[in-house]
Structure 1
Amino acid sequence: MKNSTLIGLGVGMVVVSLVGFVSYKKMQLEDLVKQLEFKVSNISNFNLTFKDIAMDLHLKALNPTSETLYINTGFIKAKILRVYHKKTNKLLAFTNLDTNTIDIPSGGVYNFTPIHIKIPLLTSGELLLNQLITKSELQKDFTKDLAFELEVTGLGKRSVIKF
C-alpha cells in the first residue's frame, strides 16, 4: 500500500472514532441531564409594573446521580436553557448559556447565571389564580410547575433535552 492510502485510512479511523466518542458522550449527557433536579435558589431585582412582573431567577441544578456531569470539550456545548410553564406551555424565560464547561459532581450543585424573567401581568395573575384554585395553600417550590429545555450542540448537530 502507498503511504497516502495508509494516511487516508488512519485519518478515516480517527474521524470515525471521534464521532463515535462524541455520540456516546452526548447520549450519556442526555441521560444524566434528565435526572437533574432544578431548584430556585434566589429571586432578585423584582419589579412590578402595570404591564408585567420582572425578576431575575437564580436556578441551581442538583445532581442526585452517582455520576459526575462534566462537560469540558469544544465538541459538546450547552447553548440555551428555556423555562416553560408546564400547564400552559408558555415560555417564561430563557438564558444563553453558550458554555462548554459545566461540572456537577455526584451529589453536587451547579449555579446557573441569573435568568431574567418578564411575565405579562395577565399571565402571572392567571398562574396565581390557578394555583390558588387548585391548591389549598401556596406551593412552596413552584419549580414543580416549570418545564425546562436544554439546547445542546455536538459536532454541528443541535438537540433539545426536555426535563
Structure 2
Amino acid sequence: MSENNKNLYYLDELSDYKVASDDSDVRGWEVKDADNRTVGRVDGLLANKEAKRVVYLDIEVDKSLIEDGHEVYNKSANEGTHGFVNKDGENHLIIPIGLVRLDEENEKVLTDEINHGTFTKTKRFSKGAKLDRQYEVTVFKNYFPEKGLNDDELEDENFYERQEFKNSSDNR
C-alpha cells in the first residue's frame, strides 16, 4: 500500500499528534464487551489525518477470544466467496472510537454495542500492520450487519464523520 493511499496512522507515527490534555490516554487499558467479558487491551490509537483525530482503538485481543474460534466471512454469491481466516500472530483488531466509553476510575474501555461473539468473528491483523479501507469496511460490516450498508456508503470522503467515529469529548 502506498503512503498516498494510507487512511490510518498509529499515533506514535505522527510526531504532530498527541492525546489531548483533557482526554485519557487509554493505551494499556483493559477492554470489556457488552457482556462485561474481556476482549483485550488497547495497544495503540489509530488516527486519520484528514479527520485530524483518533478514529480507532487498536486492541490486542485476549487469548480467550482467539481460543473461541473464528467463522469464515462470505460475500453474496454474485461477488464470489471470500474467506478471511485468522492466522497465528493475528491478534489485533480495531474498534471505532464512538463505540466505546471510558471507565476512567478503573482504567477500562467499555463497549455497550459489541458482544464477545462478534469480536470472536472479527477479522484480526498482526501488530503494526498497515490497515486499508477494505479491512475497515469488513470490520464495520461485521460490527453492524443489521445496517445493510453497501461499500459505496462506507468508502466515501465522509466515512469518518459517522457517529461511530465520534468520541464523547467531541460533544463537549
By percentage of residues, which structure has more strand? Answer: 1
* TM-score, scaled relative to structure 1: 0.28
* TM-score, scaled relative to structure 2: 0.27
